[in-house]
Amino acid sequence: MIEGKEKGANSFLSMPVSSLLHSNVAILDQFKTAADAIAAMKENSIRSILVSDSNKEIIGLISKTDILYKAAFLHKKSPASVVLEEIMSTPIISITPEMSVADALSVMEKHVIRQVVVSSGSMVYGIISRDDIMTKMERALVETVTAFKIDAPLCIMRPFASTSLIDRGSTLTCPHCTREYQSKELLSSHVKTVHSETK
């Protein structure tokens, strides 16, 4: 089962980021306020906003953290009085759509950021965040584990090659004669001595 989990995780991490990015992106002018960004985040159910200049080119990114920390803590202003260009993160760290999820996580870790823009040239495809990756990785692991249900056995175990332990306090029972033993070593010795010829 552990091998299955590792395989599922590795398969997920090798996927291109284009397969799980958020294409729902909101863009606001650099002179809009943090209050405008909060409203856009709520309206679009997103955690960050791209910021554009007068030529409609993307020049920065605003996250909830930027608003809470930079606007409220550093500038000590209300969101309605903070202009986005004052608190946006710039330059933007971007990655290509073909980059793997594992490499995207490495980029975020290296630059100490929680999200990156996915783009190619001047084309923006969306945003991917560490939280999104972790959430989807958990789902991928759950789906992998689901493939290993009790009603879908992986192999056939020889009937007398095992004894089941119902709870931690119970003794070990010989699968051949049902005699009880306090340790695995005693049970193993009993089986080899008494039942070695059992088919």
34-67 in b/e form (b: 16+ CB < 10 A) is: bebbbbbbeeeebbbbbbbeeeeebbbbbbeebb
Verify that 176 and 127 share a domain, yes or no.
no
Kind and range of the H or E element at 111?
helix 101-111
| Res 157 pLDDT > 60 | no
**Domain-located, residue 151:** no
In this prediction, residue 123 carries a pLDDT of: 85
Which helix (DSSP H) or strand (DSSP E) does residue 95 occupy?
strand 94-95
Q: How many domains does the chain have?
A: 2
CA dist., res. 179 & res. 175, Å (int): 8
Please report, as a single letter, which amino acid is at residue 8.
G
In a domain, 186, yes or no: yes
Give a yes or no: residue 181 inside a domain.
yes
- Asked if residue 165 and residue 141 are part of one domain, the reply reads no
> From the centroid of its chain, how far is CA 38?
25
DSSP state of 19: G
Read off the tokens for 159.
């009937």
Is residue 193 one of the residues assigned to a domain? Answer: yes
Indicate whether 69 pLDDT > 90. no
Read off the pLDDT of each residue in 19-46 and give the average, rounded to a whole number: 90
Q: Does residue 84 surpass a pLDDT of 70?
A: yes
- According to DSSP, the residues that pair with 61 across neighbouring strands are 50, 89
CA distance 174 to 162: 9
- Which position has the higher pLDDT, 64 or 147? 64
Residue 119 CA to residue 124 CA, distance in Å, equals 4
Residues 53 and 137 in one domain: yes
CATH value at residue 83: 3.10.580.10
Please give the residue range of the domain that contains residue 185. 156-199
Average pLDDT score, the chain: 77
Question: Could you tell me if residue 178 is inside a domain?
Answer: yes
Looking at residues 16-36, what average pLDDT do you find? 88
Q: Are residues 130 and 167 in the same domain?
A: no
Is the pLDDT confidence value at 12 over 50?
yes
Q: What single letter denotes the amino acid at residue 149?
A: K
User: What is the number of residues in the chain?
Assistant: 199
